[in-house]
Structure 1
Amino acid sequence: MLSGLAIALLLIQIPATCLLLSRLSKGPGRRLPVEPQTITSPGLGTVSVVVPTLNERERLTPCLVGLTHQSNEVREIIVVDSRSTDGTPELVKNAQEQDPRFKLITDDPLPPGWIGRPWALHNGYLQSSPESKWILGIDADTQPMPGLVAGLIQTAEKEEFDLVSLSPQFILKYPGEWWLQPALLITLVYRFGPTGIESQTAERVMANGQCFLCRRDVLTKLDGYKSAKGSFCDDVTLARYAAACGFKVGFLDGAKVLKVRMYEGAWQTWNEWGRSLDLKDASSQGQLWSDLWLLLSTQGLPLPTALIFLTCWGWGISSPFITAVAGLNLLLLSIRFALVLAIAPSYDRTQSSPTASWLFWLSPLADPLAVLRIFLSAIQRPTQWRGRTY
């Protein structure tokens, strides 16, 4: 019976492992992280920044301060508020007194078929200056570092990207999130490979709306954010639509220029981030279930499978197939622990106690839970998001 189970696992896991290794093997050739830069004079006033907000007062200040420190390549900073009731507009007005580039607008009531975030971004794009060459979407929970916009623009111009987004450096504070969040992040690495690589097809394109730069003329050709209006992962939906239309799309490492404090604790991370990580709104059913098979085979199963078959081995229950499946899953676990070292620069340890952050190194033990969260998200559609009910 155990040999039969071992054969079944080998048939499921070997193809998935080969696919995973083919994706991870592209890592050494990936583009270097974006570096902070100072812009040269031709870049002055070429960027309109759009920040969507809805009751973000508690975490908006670092974002506003970071944007203030961007140099003159930023023409305007448009904060699109969706009728916040927590004092967010007053916070933006205070920032406007210090930096006249800030502009506060209120978007119209949400039309049928739209999700709040793409609607706010679409309104910001429509209200932006036609003189700006680039539109940069920035989330309220980000902390832009000095030189972010200049470095991103220089990279986009050099690489001739039409649309490019960045992965940030994450700020974690509590033990539970240090254990769970890296496991959830790895589900993206397993499905789409490391940041900075070339995507072979539009359906494998990855993006991050926390820092999302697009040429204005390209966004006009895409009809703004309408292609992603009903998507809970509007960043990936829009990026894949742009790639399918023939535009060059990039997803780069931005850990040196952008930080983000997304959620407070493990429960918020599980509940909020986990709801959109399946990317079902940007994927076909075939792609979605193919990705779930890959995650189950290479991230969800290795830990329990290795423990079960090594225990059987210790009890003297052995066969060539049992040995093979135990070895394969030990290999997958060793890859996973090696990736902990690879993603370590994506985390800021300066704002957390050592007693909490050490759990980062044990995050592979949360992999079965992370994969379970992706499965649950794949079969459910959110009914609430960022204070709105849909």
Structure 2
Amino acid sequence: MTFDPAWIALLLAVFPAVNGVINLFLLRAPTGPVPAGTLVSILVPARDEAANIADCIEAALAQTGVAIEVVVMDDGSTDGTPDIVRRIAARDPRVRLVSAPPLPEGWSGKMHACARLAEAARGTHFLFIDADVRLLPGAAAGLAGHAVRRQLGLVSTVPRQHIGTLGEGLTVPMINLLLVGYLPGGGRAFTRHPGFAAGCGQLMMLERGAYETSGGHGAVRTTLHDGLKLTRLLRVHGFRTEIVAGAEVATCRMYRGFAESWRGFLKNAREGMATPVGLPVWSVVLAGAHLWPFFLLPDMQAVMALALVFALRAAITLRSGEPAWTIVLHPAAVIVALAIQWTALARFLMGRKEGWKGRAYAAPEAP
């Protein structure tokens, strides 16, 4: 029985199912009283974000329960991004526009913009968000209160993802599937080891002292994956970090269509799964649980394996607020995820550079 393929597939499906149930039980929305004197600096790096920036700022200005400022870094935009920010700043003094200096050698664009944003910030807490993120009204207060109550140096979340096309449905939901199903502890603060750290670069709040002590974005200047690297950095320096439930914190439509989704996930893959040692293991783990059972039907163990992985995917989808129609795409989503990772590894081995927002970077060495 030990070497029966159907039993192996079932065992591979049991781990993410059990781990996922535990992580979903532990996952909580951020809450806590906000201490007097708290100022949250909402920091937005923006490069050619004319389609997004106004809605992003307006949602940030609608925060309740805590004092805020909004600082937008115009990072060499060639569209109307800075003009839009200036118009909003003219009527609301809480908004400031700053311009990024030329990108120095050895920095990725977003890390440089975020580092300069931190220098300009006045707050006790730094809330870094992407321009496509829309904060819900209590987000800043909830995150700051949670950070203080739980004594966290960093608190992050995956916003509720707006998924508008088939291509997005084949890619975006894998973020939560991997985080909830395969990370022991799901990024909660009790998993203190840096290897169990997790964060989402779309939305991260850092306590000012923790950011400055750890070196912040300057210490991870080459990365394209700050959600992972910055969180690990803080844990190395002894600070607690935590992932919280994001459906009631913010929303985001990170990509539009399959081509943009593919390029977006490709640029981060090398710092995640796409390593020569790790990717073959991940391929066996993911394909063995989520794809192989289809080829073993009608064995009962294969049926049970598929029931577990689809139940897990459904539970994660409902909890994260993603569209229910993406559940049926799950096997294809796993295939696409692995294809992205293998493409990223092949491009790295060929010396190809990854590009985003008009910049090209040599793929960083993975951890």
TM-score after normalising by structure 1: 0.81
Q: How far apart in 1 are the matches of 2:226 and 2:271?
A: 9
Structure 1 residues 332 and 294: CA distance shift in structure 2, 3 A: farther
Please say if residues 10 and 304 of structure 2, whose CA atoms lie closer than 8 Å, have aligned partners that are also in contact.
no
Q: How far apart in 1 are the matches of 2:304 and 2:112?
A: 45
Matches within 5 A, 1:236-251: 236-251=228-243
Other-structure match for 2:286: 299
Deviation at 1:50, TM superposition (A): 1.2
Once the two structures are overlaid, the 10-residue window that deviates more, 7-16 or 251-260, is: 7-16
Matches within 5 A, 1:163-178: 163-178=154-169
Q: How far apart in 1 are the matches of 2:302 and 2:338?
A: 16
* Structure whose alpha-carbon radius of gyration is higher: 1
Corresponding residue to 1:78 among 71, 74, 77: 71
Structure 1 residues 24 and 72: CA distance shift in structure 2, 3 A: closer
Other-structure match for 1:338: 311
| 2:66 matches 1:108 | no
Q: How far apart in 2 are the matches of 1:19 and 1:345?
A: 19
Structure 1 residues 34 and 259: CA distance shift in structure 2, 3 A: same
Structure 1 residues 340 and 53: CA distance shift in structure 2, 3 A: same
Once the two structures are overlaid, the 10-residue window that deviates more, 357-366 or 172-181, is: 357-366
Q: How far apart in 2 are the matches of 1:374 and 1:221?
A: 34
Please say if residues 183 and 364 of structure 1, whose CA atoms lie closer than 8 Å, have aligned partners that are also in contact.
no
Other-structure match for 1:143: 134
Q: How far apart in 2 are the matches of 1:183 and 1:222?
A: 30
Other-structure match for 2:341: 374
Structure 2 residue matching 1:181: 3-state secondary structure: coil
Structure 2 residue matching 1:213: 3-state secondary structure: strand
Residues 235-279 of structure 1 deviation map (CA, whole Å, 9 limit, x = unaligned): 211110110111101111121020001111122112212431453
| 2:88 matches 1:95 | yes
Other-structure match for 1:23: 19
Other-structure match for 1:261: 253
Runs of 4+ in 1 over 6 A off after TM superposition: none
Q: How far apart in 1 are the matches of 2:92 and 2:194?
A: 39
Structure 1 residues 347 and 268: CA distance shift in structure 2, 3 A: farther
Q: How far apart in 1 are the matches of 2:148 and 2:195?
A: 24
Deviation at 1:341, TM superposition (A): 2.0
Instruction: Note the residue ranges of structure 1 that are not aligned, 5 or more in a row.
Output: 314-325, 350-356
Residues 105-134 of structure 1 deviation map (CA, whole Å, 9 limit, x = unaligned): 1111111110000100000111222xx211
Please say if residues 137 and 211 of structure 1, whose CA atoms lie closer than 8 Å, have aligned partners that are also in contact.
yes
Structure 1 residue matching 2:41: 3-state secondary structure: strand
Corresponding residue to 1:133 among 124, 127, 130: 124
Please say if residues 195 and 252 of structure 1, whose CA atoms lie closer than 8 Å, have aligned partners that are also in contact.
no
Deviation at 1:152, TM superposition (A): 0.8
Seq. identity, %: 24
Residues 61-103 of structure 1 deviation map (CA, whole Å, 9 limit, x = unaligned): 2211101101373442111111201010001011112321111
Other-structure match for 1:216: 208
Structure 1 residues 90 and 251: CA distance shift in structure 2, 3 A: same
Other-structure match for 1:161: 152
Please say if residues 144 and 257 of structure 1, whose CA atoms lie closer than 8 Å, have aligned partners that are also in contact.
yes
Corresponding residue to 2:296 among 271, 290, 309: 309
Q: How far apart in 1 are the matches of 2:289 and 2:248?
A: 33
Please say if residues 263 and 269 of structure 1, whose CA atoms lie closer than 8 Å, have aligned partners that are also in contact.
yes
Deviation at 1:159, TM superposition (A): 1.1
TM-score after normalising by structure 2: 0.85
Q: How far apart in 2 are the matches of 1:368 and 1:196?
A: 25
Structure 1 residue matching 2:231: 3-state secondary structure: helix
Please say if residues 13 and 297 of structure 1, whose CA atoms lie closer than 8 Å, have aligned partners that are also in contact.
no
Deviation at 1:8, TM superposition (A): 8.8
Please say if residues 167 and 195 of structure 1, whose CA atoms lie closer than 8 Å, have aligned partners that are also in contact.
no
Please say if residues 62 and 143 of structure 1, whose CA atoms lie closer than 8 Å, have aligned partners that are also in contact.
yes
Instruction: Note the residue ranges of structure 2 that are not aligned, 5 or more in a row.
Output: 362-367
Structure 2 residue matching 1:380: 3-state secondary structure: helix
Give the partner amino acid of 2:294: L
Q: How far apart in 2 are the matches of 1:108 and 1:81?
A: 10
Corresponding residue to 2:110 among 117, 121, 134: 117
Please say if residues 314 and 327 of structure 2, whose CA atoms lie closer than 8 Å, have aligned partners that are also in contact.
no
Structure 1 residues 124 and 144: CA distance shift in structure 2, 3 A: same
Q: How far apart in 2 are the matches of 1:296 and 1:328?
A: 20
Q: How far apart in 2 are the matches of 1:127 and 1:295?
A: 41
Give the partner amino acid of 1:24: G
Other-structure match for 1:347: 321
Other-structure match for 1:318: none
Structure 1 residues 255 and 109: CA distance shift in structure 2, 3 A: same
Please say if residues 301 and 368 of structure 1, whose CA atoms lie closer than 8 Å, have aligned partners that are also in contact.
no
Give the partner amino acid of 1:162: G
Deviation at 1:196, TM superposition (A): 5.9
| 2:143 matches 1:152 | yes
Give the partner amino acid of 1:23: N
RMSD (Å) for aligned C-alpha atoms? 3.0
Residues 131-180 of structure 1 deviation map (CA, whole Å, 9 limit, x = unaligned): x2111111101011101101111111111111111111000112332244
Structure 1 residues 303 and 224: CA distance shift in structure 2, 3 A: closer
Structure 2 residue matching 1:225: 3-state secondary structure: helix
